Structure formats: C-alpha cells, structure tokens
C-alpha cells in the first residue's frame, strides 16, 4: 500500500477533454430526481473547488449549464446530498449527461467529448485490474487453512505483481498516446487501492515531469496545471534530496534505532535484538498484503528461531484494538511487536523512508542491513543461506 501523495481530490475521479473555443454546454437528465432540487456546478481552481453555477431540476430531472471558457476546465456536477460526478469540459463542447438520482458517479451515458471515450477506455482497464486483484484476495481467504497456503501465497504474489505491472504499462502507454491532453493529468493520479498508486511518483517521476512540461507550456493559465507544475517541482527536489540521503539504508549500513512501546506498554529498542539475525518488518492490521505475508513470517520464525532468528515487527495501525486483533487473528504473538499507533505519521515512516507496506529489512547480528523486502520463498532461501 502506497503512502499518499497530496493531490486535489477532484482529480481522483475520471474526466473528459476536447478542444475548441467559445462556450461549453453541459446538459442532461437525472432520473428519479426530486423536482426543484438544486444541481450545482463546481469548478476546480488551483487550490480550491468553487461553486460557479446552480440550477433547479425540472419535473423530468432535466438541467442545463452554459459557461464561457477559453481552455479546458475541470467541473463537478454535484447534488445537494453531496453525490457528484467529475468531468473535464473544453471550449465548444456540448456535453450530454444522463444518470440516475444518487448515482451521478455511475452515469448511464456521457456524450459530446472526444476525451470521454478515452477515459472510458482507461477506466475499463483500471476497473478490470482492480477486480482481478480483489479476486486474489478471495483466493487467499479460501485457502487460509490450507497446508499449501505458502505455495498459494507465492502464486498470488506473482499474479499481483503481474497485474500491477500490466496496469502501470497500460497507463504509461495511455499518457504517451494522449500527449498534450489533460486526460494525462488525470492518469497520473489513479489508484488501485487507497495509497496504492498506479504510477509511483518516485520510480515513475519521468512521466510526472513529462506531463507537467507539456501541459504547462500548453495551458499555463489552467489552475490544475499550475498545481501540477508546483507539485512536480517539489517532487523533483524531494527525489534529488532522497538520492543523497538514502544511502544509509543500503546493505552494510546500520539500521537506525527504533524505540517504541510493545502491546503491554513496555518500550523495546531495536538494538536490544543485537546478537541475532533480525527481520525488521513494517506492517498494519488494516493492510491485506501484510496479513497475507504473515503466514510466511510464521513459517520462517518457526524454522529458524532456535538458530538465532528474531522478528521485530512495527505496526502502522491507528488503534490498539485493531493492532492486537491483527496479532491475535494471525497467531503472531510469539515475536516482538511495537507501535506508536500514529499510522503514517509514525516516526519510523520518515526514519526508514517507508512509502508502502509490507516493507522489511533483514539485519545481521550487529544490526547492519543485509537485504530488504524479502518475502515468501526469498526470505526462506536467504535465512537458510545464513544459518547453513
């Protein structure tokens, strides 16, 4: 699960783009709507959403907005109860929107923009990927008591990585094929799950930079484009700073000290495990991939603990109850557990440059890093090599 990057919430929904001049007309029908209820039109500016128009729905749920614009604009159609749909309107477009009451986010049809078909294409692929990944969770849940769970986990992990790689490449192709369109700005920020971005802002920074450079030249007056430009500038600066400071987490370097309370309130330090081979593991009870990996940790612990292997598991949970329930349900109370229960605001997040979990470091008997992100069979093989 990826650590969240700050972006306008409006850009996490799907939108549409075309090009021309003059006014844009957004009209349509909300079926089963209450006559006289307001429908609002909000515009995304650089740092805020602003209501720029509103109409009352007629007895048939029909509405119409007309706006004078000179460049593409992100709009939100919003009901009084907060239900909404985001679109990207361009000069000269006549967009027709039809949806059912309280289901604006799943319209029956949206017509009148070339960008609509582009976003439908992308949305279809993204939804299919999400469904396939959810299917992997179902398979895992069906095999939790299976003696073959370890093998099942290896297969599921391999399939999950393949699905993520597939949608990542599809998104990059989508951006390449729609260069100069604001739909590329939307594509930058899509998520498979909360905090799990399709494009990683660090590993895929070249795409963020490319989209920014093209759109900023083409639409320098666009609020969302200006916001992207500022964010990318900060992102580039952060990545450069990271390159200069992350060497301390490389193999051979000493792992930074951790001093956090255990479930019983006793403060335990990472350095107290010196003399053992230690897996420093970052997880959370709310993180499905972490929970799926725990059976592999149990297997490794039971195999090598008598030879001097220890697990020091740090939770990014928010409540003590959820943390303890996760430990109890996964039967992992036999090793060291600590947490400050501060979620992504935990001191270890910045200390260890954690952007996603599960995340781990294998440490030698002096507390130096041997390797990172060893999971499943990879961890078993490495430990067998160390303890041979």
d(CA 121, CA 102) in angstroms, rounded, equals 24
Alpha-carbon distance of 189 to 171, in angstroms, equals 10
Q: Helix, strand, or coil here: 330? A: coil
At residue 15, the pLDDT reads 40
Tokens of 272: 């107290």
Burial of 100 (0-12, 13-18, 19+ CB in 10 A): middle
d(CA 338, CA 269): 9
Maximum alpha-carbon separation in the chain = 78
Tens-place pLDDT, residues 11-41: 554 443 444 458 999 999 999 998 999 999 9
d(CA 80, CA 54): 10
pLDDT for the residue numbered 20? 40
Q: What is the mean pLDDT of the chain?
A: 88
**Length, in residues, of the chain:** 388
- Which are the contacts of 234, defined by CB distance < 8 A and separation ≥ 6? none
pLDDT at position 10 is 52
Q: Please name the helix (run of DSSP H) or strand (run of DSSP E) that holds residue 369, with its range, or none.
A: strand 369-372
pTM: 0.63
Q: Is 83 exposed, middle or buried (0-12, 13-18, 19+ CB in 10 A)?
A: middle
Dihedral sign from CA coordinates of 56, 61, 62, 63: positive
The mean pLDDT of 94-99, rounded to a whole number, is 95
Order across the sheet with 359-363: list the strands: 336-338, 309-315, 277-283, 359-363, 369-372
Cα distances from 167 to residues 4, 130, 140, 335, 355, in angstroms, run 19, 10, 22, 37, 19
Mean of pLDDT values over 59-82: 93
Give me the mean pLDDT over the 348-360 stretch: 88
**What is residue 120's predicted lDDT score, i.e. its pLDDT?**
78
Residue 289: pLDDT over 80? yes
Closest to 115 in 3D by CA, of 83, 84, 82, 92: 92
Tell me the three state secondary structure of residue 285.
coil
Structure-block tokens of residue 29: 């029908």
192 in Cβ contact with 134 (< 8 Å): no
User: Looking at residue 204, what DSSP letter applies?
Assistant: T
Exposed/middle/buried for 348, CB within 10 Å: 0-12, 13-18, 19+? buried
What pLDDT score does 6 carry? 44
In angstroms, rounded to a whole number, what is the distance separating the alpha carbons of residues 359 and 259? Answer: 18
pLDDT at 265: 93
How do residues 309-332 score in pLDDT, each as one tens digit?
Answer: 999 999 999 999 999 999 999 999
202: confidence class by pLDDT, cuts 50, 70, 90: confident
The predicted model gives 220-244 an average pLDDT of: 85
Q: Is 2 a residue whose pLDDT tops 50?
A: no
Instruction: Give 143-174 as a DSSP string.
Output: TTT-TTHHHHHHHHHHHHHHHHHHHHHHHHHH
What pLDDT shows up at residue 309? 97
Per-residue pLDDT tens for 150-190?
788 778 888 888 999 999 999 999 999 999 999 999 899 89
- pLDDT (tens digit per residue) in 247-263: 568 899 999 999 999 99
> Hunting for tokens 């992504």 — which residue is that?
344
From the number of C-beta atoms within 10 Å of its C-beta (0-12, 13-18, 19+), residue 48 rates as: exposed
Identify the structural domains of the chain with CATH numbers, from first to last: 18-112 (2.60.40), 116-247 (no CATH), 259-386 (3.40.30.10)
């Amino acid at each position: 699960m990826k650590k969240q990057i700050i972006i306008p919430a409006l850009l996490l929904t799907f939108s549409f783009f075309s090009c021309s001049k003059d006014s844009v007309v957004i009209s349509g029908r909300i079926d089963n709507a209450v006559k006289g209820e307001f429908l609002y039109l909000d515009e995304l500016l650089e740092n805020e959403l602003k209501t720029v128009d509103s109409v009352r729905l007629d007895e048939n749920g029909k509405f119409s907005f007309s706006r004078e614009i000179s460049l593409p604009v992100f709009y939100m159609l919003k009901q009084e109860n907060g239900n909404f749909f985001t679109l990207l309107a361009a000069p000269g477009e006549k967009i027709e929107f039809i949806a059912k009451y309280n289901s604006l986010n799943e319209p029956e049809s949206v017509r009148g923009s070339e960008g609509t078909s582009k976003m439908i294409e992308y949305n279809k692929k993204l939804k299919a990927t999400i469904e396939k990944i959810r299917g992997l969770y179902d398979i895992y849940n069906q095999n939790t008591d299976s003696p073959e769970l370890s093998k099942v986990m290896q297969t599921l992990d391999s399939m999950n990585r393949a699905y993520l790689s597939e949608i990542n490449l599809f998104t990059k192709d989508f951006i390449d094929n729609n260069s100069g369109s604001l739909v590329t700005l939307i594509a930058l920020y899509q998520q498979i799950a909360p905090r799990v971005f399709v494009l990683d802002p660090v590993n895929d920074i070249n795409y963020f930079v490319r989209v920014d450079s093209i759109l900023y030249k083409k639409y320098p007056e666009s609020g969302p484009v200006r916001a992207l430009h500022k964010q990318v500038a900060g992102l580039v600066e952060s990545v450069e700073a990271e390159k200069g400071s992350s060497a301390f987490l490389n193999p051979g370097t000493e792992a930074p000290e951790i001093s956090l309370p255990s479930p019983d309130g006793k403060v335990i330090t990472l350095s107290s495990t010196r003399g053992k081979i230690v897996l420093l593991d970052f997880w959370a009870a709310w993180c499905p991939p972490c929970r799926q990996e725990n059976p592999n940790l149990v297997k490794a612990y039971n195999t090598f603990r008598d030879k001097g292997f220890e697990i020091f598991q740090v939770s990014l949970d928010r409540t003590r109850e959820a943390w303890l329930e996760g430990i109890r349900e996964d039967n992992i109370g036999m090793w060291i557990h600590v947490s400050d229960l501060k979620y992504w605001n935990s001191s270890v997040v910045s200390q260890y440059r954690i952007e996603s979990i599960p995340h781990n470091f294998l440490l030698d008997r002096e507390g130096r890093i041997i390797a990172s992100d060893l999971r499943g069979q990879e961890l078993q093989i490495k430990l067998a090599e160390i303890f041979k």
